[in-house]
């Protein structure tokens, strides 16, 4: 019989520290990105979080060019309008 998996206090602490550090680093990285890139990332995050609210169209051209177009019927709140 195997023992149930238990989270060790040290492992939990390390995971929390890593998650906090990752969040800080991502925040700094996002500040360096151009506004259009931030908008694209935001649209993709909405597609992942609320796929029913998004319409995604993927276009593949013979030359290998891919184009993902995201559209939503949800109006952004005033704080998220760009």
* pLDDT score recorded for residue 65: 92
Residue 3 belongs to some domain of the structure: no
Prediction pTM value = 0.46
Residue 68 belongs to some domain of the structure: yes
Express each pLDDT in 41-79 by its tens digit: 888 887 788 888 778 888 999 999 999 887 877 666 666
Residue 33 belongs to some domain of the structure: yes
* Structural domains counted in the chain: 1
Which tokens go with 64? 């290998």
Reduced to 3 states (helix: H, G, I; strand: E, B; else coil), residue 63 is: coil
Residue 1 belongs to some domain of the structure: no
Helix, strand and coil in the chain, % to nearest 5: 55, 15, 30
Say yes or no to pLDDT of 1 above 60.
no
Residue 4 belongs to some domain of the structure: no
- Bridge-partner residues for 58, per DSSP? 68
Residue 24 belongs to some domain of the structure: yes
Residue 43 belongs to some domain of the structure: yes
Range of the domain at 59: 9-80
Residue 46 belongs to some domain of the structure: yes
Q: Single out the residue of 48, 35, 44 nearest to residue 81, CA to CA.
A: 35
């Amino acid at each position: 019989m195997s023992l149930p998996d238990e989270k060790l206090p040290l492992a939990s602490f390390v995971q929390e520290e890593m998650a906090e550090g990752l969040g800080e680093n991502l925040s700094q990285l996002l500040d360096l990105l151009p506004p259009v890139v931030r908008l694209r990332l935001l649209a993709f995050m909405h597609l992942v979080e609320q796929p029913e609210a998004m319409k995604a169209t993927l276009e593949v051209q013979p030359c290998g060019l891919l184009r993902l177009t995201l559209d939503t019927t949800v109006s952004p709140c005033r704080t998220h309008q760009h």
